[in-house]
Structure 1
């Protein structure tokens, strides 16, 4: 029997306010846009379907994505990551997904290997799993079993995403070490672009 799918959910709606208004999804790393690389990594990690939540520069971001992905528009993207997470989880209704692996578009050093590790922690719709780096620093990707979708959506506000919900359910989270294959650093300010090969 084929196990129920683990969907990939890529949050790619940010407008890069601290980057001078450059949509993070359209930044490039090694010749490809962040959104292309991250969406492909979710597929390579075994996720399906893969839904990509867009907001800032939505049309340009959509144009970069192949037909393999479902693009979800978040008209409230300026209110923060929480609205993108809610839109993404809502878009999974009817897909049969037993869980969602949530990744952020502005973390170019988190690739398919780390995503596959966290995805592999999936056991049931009640599963919660999270990448940890160096045994201490928790980050993305995060696996949310479908039983948690409604609770996460209710708690997701502003730029917090699932943070408050995960804090409340800390004892249920399976931590997956990814520090040997990825780095959770995100791209927030112009200085962060210095070490990014174009």
Structure 2
């Protein structure tokens, strides 16, 4: 039997390419949130330097009438627990990425996923902006710092960022950027935006 992660002696363990770099001095937990079907699993998978953990399951009739699939009717799988990945920002700083389920019926998992998180990325789709309102509201209630990234789907309408900021009722200090969840470099730019935002908030609070 072929066991993934086993060595030649049959002892299970992490793959060598998944090992944390010896130079890593700090690790930060980041949560990726957003409505159903906005691209959270894709984002984590595209940027993770290790094989991402995904808990996607095939959508069934049980979700009919419960999950809002307007605008994403072709979606056939959904995250039911979390996505997990890791990216090294530099030799010393490592980010652990936790993607949340998008459907409200799985939001009870948020408390555990947010424990110890330093900040969040809210991923939005311009075809379904309304699914982001409750997500942003919950982050504001928790007091979790966040940035908003507009995922560029090929069929999505495009709007100026200032119009999107107004539609999402975002304060001026919350960064709003465009991204392509399929692109590693684009997602990395989003994560760097969050890191700069967190650094700015920390510097302000220290004054």
- TM norm structure 2: 0.31
Structure number with bigger Rg: 2
